[in-house]
């Protein structure tokens, strides 16, 4: 999708989004490109979109919000996803999966995402607004983890640290992709970044997934004076599966 087509909700598509809302976003970004963010007013946006001011504020509380039109929906989707978590779900894996909802919102609309990123870098007020949105995502993750870790003496600290780590890992990969102009494989990069967090903080023993096979370890016992060929043969025998190992005495 090109940037001029406006955003789609990564979590819900466009079927349930009023065309007027899309028209306002498209008009806003067209004007931001021509006049700059500060040089564009709400009246300019509604004039180009052909609607009234009341229509604008029905969808966006302020001009800054038209730059981030899908974040409100995404925060709601993330919160619902976390609430649907079961007791058997690993908390860290769950919040990593929740972060992927945000990734999908960006990845489904690379042209718009890159255009917004470049605009946000130019306008300090938008950067501050974006930070407030990121904080809301982090709070949603932390609130979920605090509930899951409520029985732990370090529960609140662990929840806040893991939530911050998930957001940092996700944003590190996402911003690299945005800086590339949306050309790299952002899904693979975010997956790798989130796996880094999961491996460090997962409640699964050893940081391994439940379906991961334990590593096969071979132990060979040998006398110090045993010839090297005898030690090698013992290793080969063990690795061939013909025995648990061999003593070379």
Q: What does the DSSP assignment read for 110-155?
A: HHHHHHHHHHHHH-HHHHHHHHHHHHHHHHHHHHHHHHHTTTSTTH
Range of the domain at 200: 3-207
Q: 31-81: per-residue pLDDT in tens?
A: 999 999 999 999 999 999 999 999 999 999 999 999 999 998 999 999 999
Asked whether the beta carbons of 81 and 95 are under 8 A apart, the reply is: no
Answer whether residue 18 shows pLDDT above 80: no
Same domain for 8 and 33, yes or no, is yes
Say what percent of the chain tops pLDDT 90.
Answer: 68
Same domain for 160 and 228, yes or no, is no
Judged on CB neighbours under 10 Å (0-12, 13-18, 19+), 65 is: middle
Say what percent of the chain tops pLDDT 70.
Answer: 75
pLDDT of 235 reads 61
Same domain for 100 and 178, yes or no, is yes
Answer whether residue 9 shows pLDDT above 50: no
Average pLDDT of the chain to the nearest whole number: 83
Q: How far is CA 220 from the centre of its chain?
A: 45
Q: 161-180: per-residue pLDDT in tens?
A: 999 999 999 999 999 999 99
pLDDT of 246 reads 42
- Give me 160's structure tokens: 């806040």
pLDDT of 98 reads 97
Same domain for 178 and 84, yes or no, is yes
Answer whether residue 140 shows pLDDT above 70: yes
Same domain for 177 and 220, yes or no, is no
pLDDT of 218 reads 60
- Provide the pLDDT confidence category of residue 240 given band limits of 50, 70 and 90: low
pLDDT of 112 reads 93
The total number of structural domains in the chain stands at 2
Q: How many CB atoms neighbour CB 82 within 10 A?
A: 22
pLDDT of 203 reads 73
Same domain for 203 and 222, yes or no, is no
């Amino acid at each position: 999708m090109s940037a001029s087509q406006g955003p789609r909700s990564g979590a819900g598509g466009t079927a349930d989004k009023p065309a007027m809302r899309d028209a306002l976003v498209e008009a806003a970004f067209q004007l931001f490109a021509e006049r700059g963010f500060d040089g564009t007013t709400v009246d300019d946006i509604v004039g180009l979109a052909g609607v009234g001011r009341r229509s604008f504020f029905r969808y966006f509380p302020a001009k800054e919000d038209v730059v981030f039109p899908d974040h409100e929906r995404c925060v709601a989707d993330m919160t619902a996803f976390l609430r649907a978590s079961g007791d058997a779900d690993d908390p860290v894996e769950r919040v990593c999966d929740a972060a992927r909802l945000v990734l999908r919102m960006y990845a489904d609309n690379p042209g718009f995402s890159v255009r917004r990123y470049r605009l946000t870098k130019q306008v300090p007020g938008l950067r501050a607004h974006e930070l407030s949105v990121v904080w809301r995502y982090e709070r949603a993750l932390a609130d979920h983890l605090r509930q899951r870790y409520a029985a732990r003496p370090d529960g609140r600290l662990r929840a806040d640290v893991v939530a911050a780590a998930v957001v940092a890992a996700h944003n590190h990969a996402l911003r690299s992709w945005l800086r590339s102009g949306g050309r790299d494989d952002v899904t693979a990069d975010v997956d790798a970044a989130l796996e880094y967090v999961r491996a460090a903080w997962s409640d699964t023993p050893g940081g391994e997934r439940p379906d991961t096979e334990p590593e096969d370890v071979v132990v060979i016992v040998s006398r110090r004076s045993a010839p090297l060929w005898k030690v090698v043969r013992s290793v080969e025998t063990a690795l061939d599966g013909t025995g648990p190992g061999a003593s070379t005495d």
